[in-house]
Amino acid sequence: MAWMFLLGGNQSTQIHYPTTSMKTSSSNQTLWKRTVVLGSVCVLSASLVAFTSAKDAGKSALHIQLNEAPLSAPGFPSFAPIVKAVSPSVVKVAVSSKAKVSQMQMPEGFDLRRFFGPGFQMPEEFQQQGRHQQHMPREQGVGSGVIVTTDGYIMTNNHVVDGADVIKVNLTDGREFDGKVIGRDPKTDVAVIKVEATGLPAITFADSDKIEVGDMVLAVGHPFGIGQTVTTGIISAKGRATLGLDYEDFIQTDAAINPGNSGGALVDVQGRLIGMNTAILSRSGGNQGVGFAVPTNLARWVMESLVNNGRVERGFLGVNIQDLTPKLAQQFKMGDAKGALVSAVTPDSPADKAGVKSGDVITDFNGKPVTDSRHLKLQVGSTTPGAAVPMNVLRDGKSMSLSVTVKELPGDKVASATPASSSSDDALHGVGVSDLDKATREQLKLPSHIKGALISSVEEDSAAYEAGLREGDVILEINRQPVKDAEQATALCAKPESKVSLVKVWSHGGTRYVVVDESKAG
């Protein structure tokens, strides 16, 4: 059975109350009907007796005992004080993207006059190489965010602000601010935005490594854009990896999480932030009691990297690893199946120089136990490149202590501060770039001496697209300054000297210059 309520103008929300489907015989249905009727008669009779007594007594039959104390009792405290402390730190993040203009290419030789006769006048957009402009509508969305510093830094999900041209941040006190993306990390789905304000109510962080399954939690956010909402539940599991991200260590909770809760707060009963609500597992599209949150220890590390360095610098060990099964653990003389099995070591990598060999089982890294390959990847990734850390391995049943100097993960896409596709002040607004890796070089047949930043995307309504820049081009220079990678291209675009940029690109086997004039961008 489903009841539908219409809320607020043209928007409708369906609230489903599931019931168990039952099949009954005719005799059973008759019995059920009789029971209902008899029950109704009994209630009616009781009501009549009460009414008669009250009338005879000449005064009210209602004797209500009222206790106006706050809704709490010993052993069963109210969450209201926690909500009052936390709710000002959780904001609504409203995002929108510009209307797009896409180019639709007509098939070669296609002529509308075949259908409308020889006197038909071809539209101008079709006369230009058979192209037709299709206008895509403006897109809007609503998510949540958490204020983490008093001077306006806000943590949210990458998927909340990805592709947004305009970001509006609404506080619970009614204030609204323009938000600016400071950095995004798709590998963990964490992003940082900034508003120009001071004295904001920043939330307090907890150590998410200390949470336990069964701990009570509260989820605070803006589901469906209806306003701030608080739900409660428990921690159902830790260390979940279900979304296919490169780095996952999710907290699972049964607190109700719905669309719009993304980027909101998951707090403990002391009001401390333990996670950022990110996703749900659902067959209906709504909450079904399986929600996931990025733990604060991971989110905090990513956030600090984006703010302090402008990108996420991840450590690199240089090993191929896999989980241990009980049978593998037995073969490698392990007492249990905890650790990461090394199946290959990259030559001249940090692991190779440290003495790691194929067949080793890494049991501890940087003072922390390694439970499986995923946790080792998280631990190595969050290690500062250049740091020398201790590592324990089990080789042929014997424990060995090694020291490894971690390098930066090669070929990693830059999680850039002020990315070129998200700031109207950039010289190459609407252009996304990434580093050149070996596979890309082979695909594009790039000569070995070509160094630069690969254009991974170009918005079709941008000045860069109008100038002729396309996906797959390689930026060699910006305003006569050589570009060696995506980070440098982003840095050169961050503070443009003017709205007009001279860009040298490698495209289709040759080099050429293009002029990108942002002053005419519309």
Structure tokens at 475: 């930026």
Q: Measuring CA to CA, how many Å separate 474 from each of 19, 335, 399?
A: 59, 52, 48
- Strand extents, DSSP E, 328-484: 340-345, 361-365, 368-369, 388-395, 398-405, 407-408, 431-434, 453-458, 474-478, 481-482
Last residue of a domain, one of 309, 343, 359: 309
360 is known as an active-site residue: no
Q: Do 304 and 234 have their domain in common?
A: yes
Q: Which runs of consecutive H residues, i.e. helices, occur in 128-171?
A: 158-161
Q: For every one of its 522 residues, what pLDDT tens digit does the chain have, with 9 covering 90 and above?
A: 333 322 233 333 333 322 233 333 344 433 333 333 333 333 333 343 343 444 454 555 666 666 676 655 556 678 999 999 999 999 999 999 876 655 555 555 555 444 455 555 555 555 555 555 555 567 788 999 999 999 999 999 999 999 899 999 999 999 999 999 999 999 999 999 999 999 999 999 999 999 999 999 999 999 988 999 999 999 999 988 877 888 888 999 999 999 899 999 999 999 999 999 998 888 877 788 899 999 999 999 999 999 998 888 899 999 888 888 887 787 777 878 889 888 878 889 999 999 998 888 999 999 999 988 888 999 999 898 999 999 999 998 899 999 999 998 875 433 333 333 333 334 477 888 888 888 788 888 888 878 889 998 888 878 888 888 898 899 988 887 888 888 888 888 765 666 778 788 888 877 777 778 877 654
CATH of the domain at 272: 2.40.10.10
Sign of CA dihedral 351, 352, 354, 357: positive
pLDDT of residue 63: 67
Contact predicate 478/493, CB 8 Å: yes
Exposure string for 167-196, b = 16+ CB within 10 A, e = fewer: bbbbbeeeeebebbbbbbbebbbbbbbbbe
Last residue of a domain, one of 309, 335, 361: 309
Residue 499 belongs to a domain? yes
Q: Do 366 and 282 have their domain in common?
A: no
Last residue of a domain, one of 374, 408, 442: 408
25 is known as an active-site residue: no
Closest CA to 190 of 149, 146, 157: 157
**Cα distance between residue 415 and residue 191, in whole Å:** 10
Q: Do 300 and 228 have their domain in common?
A: yes
Residue 181 belongs to a domain? no
**Cα distance between residue 358 and residue 375, in whole Å:** 19
State the catalytic residue, choosing from 165, 189, 254, 412.
Answer: 189
189 is known as an active-site residue: yes
3-state SS assignment for residue 169: strand
CATH of the domain at 353: 2.30.42.10
Q: Do 290 and 322 have their domain in common?
A: no
Give strand pairing partners of 478: 481, 503
Q: Do 232 and 282 have their domain in common?
A: yes
pLDDT of residue 243: 77
Q: Is residue 498 within a helix (H) or strand (E), and if so which, with residue range?
A: none
Question: Total domain count for the chain?
Answer: 3
Q: Do 290 and 334 have their domain in common?
A: no
Residue 62 belongs to a domain? no
Q: Do 343 and 265 have their domain in common?
A: no
Q: Do 281 and 225 have their domain in common?
A: yes
Q: Do 218 and 298 have their domain in common?
A: yes
**Cα distance between residue 29 and residue 207, in whole Å:** 57
In the chain, DSSP finds a helix count (H) and a strand count (E) of 12, 31
State the catalytic residue, choosing from 87, 159, 437, 507.
Answer: 159
Q: Measuring CA to CA, how many Å separate 255 from each of 92, 234, 302, 366, 470?
A: 19, 7, 25, 34, 45
3-state SS assignment for residue 47: helix
**Cα distance between residue 221 and residue 226, in whole Å:** 10
Domain that holds residue 289: 208-309
Question: What backbone torsions phi and psi does residue 204 show, to the nearest 5 degrees?
Answer: -100, 135
State the catalytic residue, choosing from 262, 373, 382, 421.
Answer: 262
Q: Do 285 and 321 have their domain in common?
A: no
Exposure string for 257-266, b = 16+ CB within 10 A, e = fewer: bbbbbbbbbb
Residue 111 belongs to a domain? no
Q: Do 300 and 335 have their domain in common?
A: no
pLDDT of residue 58: 53
Residue 256 belongs to a domain? yes
Contact predicate 365/402, CB 8 Å: no
Residue 339 belongs to a domain? yes
Residue 168 belongs to a domain? no
**pTM exceeds 0.75 for this model:** no
**Cα distance between residue 394 and residue 397, in whole Å:** 6
